[in-house]
Structure 1
């Protein structure tokens, strides 16, 4: 997190991550023990000894300590995206004029969010509640700390909602009157072709990605389309592509990635269109076959939610926190076993996790099913190299959300975990190990409504 510090917040002081904490602890003792009498001998606790806890301090232009705050994961277990701030302190001689307290609080919020937090709490003295409210914090309930009145406050992290808004929220209005997919399949990853057992899927790759990473773009054009077919239980039949490139060499790199992925997944490239001397562009259409397509809107309140995800691999170079690459290192047999999972398991509903991330995709499944969803954050299978915030918002390579009974649940190298439930209402909420429930998506994701 070194990119966050130091942060210049005014002409008189800077906020930075503390390299040594003795002066911060001494200031805390002077304020919380000697001045306020909150504690008898010291205010140190187990969170100070947690190596994951970070101390941010405000220093004057001369390097003098003016205040500090600590932030870090809550509890002793793994970091599941639940963070806490605390022990906010400002030197009595510097209070009230420079805005040191608010600056430290803002820096703590930024640090927690950059570390992947999806919940950020702080227990503050009641007299400080107005300041936190002005900064955008929300009161949860009154509590007592050291026998004194405090308020549990929560910083509203809108990362999940912002991703849904950027990728999916406009669809309902844009597609009004088109009813893509047809009755029962509106909003699905693919669309049944009327009068046949064919499923059609189509995806475009970001032009910037095609420009700077053409081979990977070609691989992903196959990956995302095959995932869309797999989410409906369809076996791939063939792929068509449209390529735009500045020259033949660039087009060859795009097509090279397409060819490698098509061979790995066992889907023939049937044809397409290639144009040179134009800005980078890539889209692909895949066809698959099933006589029993699994809908994304087949869920019902009371059904459990499962995530089946391949946790192997790591962040794609250049796409840290955004694209998890597990697929390029898998064998064709492993890839095809994962791709056939939904078709063999025949769940009530299934969705491929893609641009909207895990939470946003669950919101789309729930919306199409006419209900809401609860996601148990601690039970979501997640690779060790990804924070909770990144994992719930990234493109995860191969990940499927399913509800209802499963038949054959063998997904090869991918793991499956029960991590939530469909509930009456709408939107997606996050459930935490302490029983707290926080908002993620307040309403529908796409605006396309229920599938039936």
Structure 2
């Protein structure tokens, strides 16, 4: 399929007429046929961009979404299509064949509304790169809508501009979850290791998942579960309280030795269910629950502290420029009910033996650097590992292992259950396991932030700079 067949945009301007009412929706049946007639009239008859027909393979792709504007009398006034550009879909889509009926061109910005709706649909589908190629004279309209110009090209002998819709999903997630850390933690010592009283992490362990306890082989970790999750799904919250802490210890190569919990709830039933989840997970990972604190008659809450042992903790900031980034992740399971797109449950169906084997992977591999994938998702976690290593990161989107039924945008920003990012010399990863998918997905680089690379060689910026502001370990 030629590039010209994918990306043309027709005339969207014309004589201004009174606004016409319409609704935007996905085309079906007769509406789809009417949309294609509008395209033929515009692209073949009027603009002579194609000879005979403008139909192509994208029309035959079952993944293609067609949006149309429909008048109250059922007439299709315009439309646009959007579709993945790769098989399998890795979250790179393009919009094309945007058309408006000549009778209503210029009416209340119908073309612009179709473009905006296409952007909304693409982002909802988990797309992380959304492109279009438009005739040069219409590029200003796309620019006004917020699209960025990616350079010149030519379609059908006419000058065009390659446009890209800026998707900030990863940056927005990091802004919510990790960006405030440096300011919040500043009272513990802005110089991180040299200021009086500075203790967080210790030398070489800034921003790590756990903290080595000075003068011992202990590693301590602590995580809280979102109160809304404790209230909505108490047993799962208890399970996750253990899961995230064991992951934190695992990322540092530590063997878990004990847990402490602080659990609260409005009634005995809620707390009992949380404790049931804690016990199930503690038994599955073989970690004793040593004690903790319980409170009733208050809003639901859960925090768990974990202790582990290792004589050689693996730092999150031990990577070096040009090191290979490896993702080791359990892609079995599925979205947790009620948390589709944000929480992947790969652990509750695993045996205790399997869970404990995965928890030992970093310990046995001893990479230069490791972090478990948690709230910031795969991309945000890569950004934190890179930042602590004094580097940036580049991720090859097509190389990322993922489940077949998870959209790329969701997968790169979700909590995947068990997922570890490690950095080591190129080709030196030892993280392979029959229980997980493990693949080199990129490298550490000189420029701060995280960039995504795509099959056509293009690069998009997922994170423009440091994630936490905590700096080099």
TM-score by structure 2 length? 0.92
By how many angstroms is 1:60 displaced? 1.1
Asked if 2 retains the 8 angstrom alpha-carbon contact of 1:334 and 1:412, the reply is no
Task: Please state if 1:33 is matched with 2:44.
Answer: yes
User: Structure 1, unaligned stretches of length 5 or more?
Assistant: 1-9
By how many angstroms is 1:49 displaced? 1.1
**Equivalent position of 2:419 in the other structure:** 399
By how many angstroms is 1:361 displaced? 0.2
Task: Please state if 1:335 is matched with 2:347.
Answer: no
Q: Tell me the alpha carbon deviations over residues 7-36 of structure 1, each in whole angstroms, 9 at most, x when there is no partner.
A: xxx971111000121111110010111111
Q: What are the within-5 Å matches in structure 2 for residues 201-220 of structure 1?
A: 201-220=221-240
Q: Tell me the alpha carbon deviations over residues 264-283 of structure 1, each in whole angstroms, 9 at most, x when there is no partner.
A: 00110000000011110000
2:184 to 170, 174, 180: 174
2:169 to 159, 162, 174: 159
Q: 1:98 and 1:297 mapped to 2: Cα distance?
A: 53
SS in 2 for 1:176: helix
Q: 2:254 and 2:434 mapped to 1: Cα distance?
A: 17
By how many angstroms is 1:407 displaced? 6.8
**Equivalent position of 1:103 in the other structure:** 113
By how many angstroms is 1:411 displaced? 3.2
**Equivalent position of 1:144 in the other structure:** 154
Q: 2:422 and 2:430 mapped to 1: Cα distance?
A: 13
1:88/1:407 CA distance change after superposition, 3 Å: closer
Q: 2:429 and 2:48 mapped to 1: Cα distance?
A: 62
**Equivalent position of 1:237 in the other structure:** 257
By how many angstroms is 1:388 displaced? 0.2
Q: Tell me the alpha carbon deviations over residues 270-310 of structure 1, each in whole angstroms, 9 at most, x when there is no partner.
A: 00000011110000000000010000000111111000000
Task: Please state if 1:357 is matched with 2:339.
Answer: no
Paired residues, what number?
441
By how many angstroms is 1:43 displaced? 1.1
By how many angstroms is 1:325 displaced? 0.2
2:290 to 270, 276, 281: 270
Q: Tell me the alpha carbon deviations over residues 332-352 of structure 1, each in whole angstroms, 9 at most, x when there is no partner.
A: 110001000000000000000
2:316 to 293, 296, 299: 296
Asked if 2 retains the 8 angstrom alpha-carbon contact of 1:337 and 1:412, the reply is no
By how many angstroms is 1:414 displaced? 1.1
By how many angstroms is 1:195 displaced? 0.4
Q: Which moved more, 1:417-426 or 1:172-181?
A: 172-181
**Equivalent position of 2:461 in the other structure:** 439
**Equivalent position of 1:19 in the other structure:** 28
Q: 1:371 and 1:156 mapped to 2: Cα distance?
A: 24
Asked if 2 retains the 8 angstrom alpha-carbon contact of 1:116 and 1:389, the reply is yes
Q: 1:160 and 1:249 mapped to 2: Cα distance?
A: 37
**Equivalent position of 1:63 in the other structure:** 74
Asked if 1 retains the 8 angstrom alpha-carbon contact of 2:20 and 2:107, the reply is no
1:410/1:79 CA distance change after superposition, 3 Å: closer
**Equivalent position of 1:321 in the other structure:** 341
Q: 1:375 and 1:408 mapped to 2: Cα distance?
A: 19
Asked if 1 retains the 8 angstrom alpha-carbon contact of 2:326 and 2:429, the reply is no
SS in 2 for 1:175: helix
1:11/1:283 CA distance change after superposition, 3 Å: farther
TM-score by structure 1 length? 0.96
Q: 1:328 and 1:112 mapped to 2: Cα distance?
A: 31
How well do the aligned residues superpose, as a CA RMSD in angstroms?
1.1
**Equivalent position of 1:248 in the other structure:** 268
Q: 1:440 and 1:313 mapped to 2: Cα distance?
A: 27
User: Structure 2, unaligned stretches of length 5 or more?
Assistant: 1-18, 193-199
Q: Tell me the alpha carbon deviations over residues 61-119 of structure 1, each in whole angstroms, 9 at most, x when there is no partner.
A: 221111000001014x1000000000100001101122110000001001111111000
Q: Tell me the alpha carbon deviations over residues 118-168 of structure 1, each in whole angstroms, 9 at most, x when there is no partner.
A: 000001111110100000000101111111111110000000000000000
**Equivalent position of 1:450 in the other structure:** 472
SS in 2 for 1:319: coil
Q: 2:154 and 2:446 mapped to 1: Cα distance?
A: 35
By how many angstroms is 1:409 displaced? 3.0
Asked if 2 retains the 8 angstrom alpha-carbon contact of 1:299 and 1:403, the reply is yes
